[in-house]
Structure 1
Amino acid sequence: MALEKPYLDIPGTVIFDADQSRKGYWLNQFCMSLMKAENRARFKADERAYLDEWAMTEEQKQAVLARDLNWCMRTGGNIYFLAKIGATDGKSFQQMAGSMTGMTEDEYRTMMLAGGRGVEGNRHIGEDGDAQAHRQPQGQANKD
C-alpha cells in the first residue's frame, strides 16, 4: 500500500523518504566510502572506474560525474551523504548549496543572510504567485 506523499507538491524539493532511500542505497554507500582517504584517492585517480565498482545505476554515475547534486538527489542521494563528494573536491557545503540553486557562493550567502528565499512561487507546484488562491480558509482542513 502506497503512502500519501503531499510533500511531492513542493517545487524544487526532493524529500529523502523510504522510497528515495531504497533508490539511492548504493549511491549513498559510495558517498560514505569517500570518508576514507584511500578511497578518495582512488576515486580522484579514475572516477569512472571507482564508480563502476558500485551497484549504482548509470544515471547515478552520470550525476556524480557531472557533480550535479540536484540530479544526484533525484536519483536517491541524501544531501548529507552527497556532501562527501563536495568535500572530496575541496568544496564547502555553502559552495555546494550555491551550486544547487544556480547561484554563486557569494549570491547564496547574501540570500541566506537576508532571510533566504521568498515563499512566493515556492509553496505548491503550479503556484501562480497568488498566495490567496492556495490558502485554505482558517479553521477548514484541506480535503484533497
Structure 2
Amino acid sequence: MPLDKPYKDIPGTTIFDAEQSRKGYWLNQFCMSLMKADNRARFKADEGTYLDEWPMTEAQKAAVRARDLNECIRLGGNIYFLAKIGATDGRSFQQMAGSMTGMTEAEYRDMMVGGGRSIEGNRRIGEDGDAQPQHQPQGKKKGS
C-alpha cells in the first residue's frame, strides 16, 4: 500500500524519500564510487565504459553524461551523492546549484546572500499566504 505523501504538491521539488532512494540506488552508488581517485580517473578516461559497469537505467546514465543534475534527482539521485560528480569535474557545490537553477554561480550566490528565493510561487499547491499546512496527520481533524 503506497504511503500518503502530502509533500508531493510542492512545485519544482523532488523529495528524496524511500521510493526515490530505491529508484536511485545504483546511481547513488556510482556517485559514491567517485570518492576513490582511481575510480575518478577511470570515469574521466572513459565515461561510457565506467557507467556501463553500474546497473543504472539508460536514462540515469544519459543524465550523468549530460550532467543534468535535475534529471538525476528526478531519477532518484540524492544531491549529496551527485555532488561527487561535480567534484570529479572540478566544480563547486555553488556552481552545481547555480546550473540547476538556470543561474550563473555569481547570480546564485547573490540570490542566496540576499535571502534565497522568494516564497511566491514556491508554496504547496493550494496553500494560502499565511503558510498554514494543508495536510492533517491521520486521526486528527481541522479544528480539533
| TM-score in terms of structure 2 length | 0.88
Name the SS for the 2:54 alignment partner: coil
Match for residue 97 of structure 1?
A: 97
Name the SS for the 1:7 alignment partner: helix
Are 2:139 and 1:141 aligned?
no
Residue correspondence of structure 1 range 53-64 to structure 2 within 5 A: 53-64=53-64
CA contact (8 A) 1:120 1:131 kept: no
Q: Encode CA deviations 1:5-59: one digit per residue, 9 max, x unaligned.
A: 1111001111110000000000000000000000000000110110000000000
What is the rounded CA distance, in whole Å, between the counterparts of 1:8 and 1:41 in structure 2? 38
Match for residue 23 of structure 2?
A: 23
What is the rounded CA distance, in whole Å, between the counterparts of 2:129 and 2:118 in structure 1? 15
Match for residue 8 of structure 1?
A: 8
Which residue identity is paired with 1:123? R
5+ long unaligned stretches in structure 2: 134-140
Q: RMSD of the alignment, in Å? A: 2.0
Residue 133 of structure 1: CA displacement?
9.4
What is the rounded CA distance, in whole Å, between the counterparts of 2:66 and 2:53 in structure 1? 18
Are 2:47 and 1:47 aligned?
yes
Residue correspondence of structure 1 range 60-79 to structure 2 within 5 A: 60-79=60-79
What is the rounded CA distance, in whole Å, between the counterparts of 1:32 and 1:40 in structure 2? 10
Residue 134 of structure 1: CA displacement?
7.7
State the aligned residue count: 136
CA contact (8 A) 1:111 1:117 kept: yes
Name the SS for the 1:30 alignment partner: helix
Name the SS for the 2:42 alignment partner: helix
Which residue identity is paired with 1:87? A
The percent of aligned pairs where both chains have the same amino acid is 75
| Runs of 4+ deviating beyond 2 Å | 130-136
What is the rounded CA distance, in whole Å, between the counterparts of 2:84 and 2:31 in structure 1? 6
Residue 124 of structure 1: CA displacement?
2.5
5+ long unaligned stretches in structure 1: none
